[in-house]
Amino acid sequence: MAKLIRASGMIKFGTSGWRGLIARDFTFDNVRLATQAIAEYLNGLPNPGSRTIILGYDTRFLGKEFSLAAAEVLAANGLEPLLCERDAPTPVIAHTIRARKALGGINMTASHNPAQYQGLKFSTSNGAPAAPEVTRQIETNAAPPGAGRLDV
């Protein structure tokens, strides 16, 4: 597995996900960083039962391409990404997670935020947005060295 260089910016989850301005905060490198942090969280779960992660996106700029970047990271971590064939709303992703008994899902959407934003929502195996204790762990996994994380 390739080592990712921790970005200087922080990945911080707010209500139901991490969002940022496209090209400033929400970049391919940061999407890969956040996805790697999610993969580390998922790979640390005891007896997950499934390795499948549902990936979706909305109609925002580069949504599909960001999802493909996330899929590459998940696959490199031994997870099985399943990408939706086309744009899909968040409730469809949540339903698909449950129907396929997936380990979780990632949806590229900034919801109600202005068009210059993109976002990443992580949902757990029940299809619901990740709880604060889960997103705190993901943030810790994504933190730069010296910010509560040691890279070896």
In the residue annotation, 16 being an active-site residue is answered as no
Rounded to a whole number of angstroms, the distance between the first and last alpha carbons of the chain is 13
Whole-angstrom distance, CA of residue 100 vs CA of residue 94: 10
SS3 3: coil
The count of other CB atoms within 10 Å of the CB of residue 28 is: 14
The count of other CB atoms within 10 Å of the CB of residue 67 is: 22
SS3 20: strand
The structure tokens listed for 40 are: 């580390």
List beta partners, residue 105.
Answer: 54, 123
Whole-angstrom distance, CA of residue 72 vs CA of residue 93: 19
Whole-angstrom distance, CA of residue 92 vs CA of residue 71: 18
Catalytic residue, from 8, 50, 67, 111: name it: 111
Active-site annotation, residues: 111
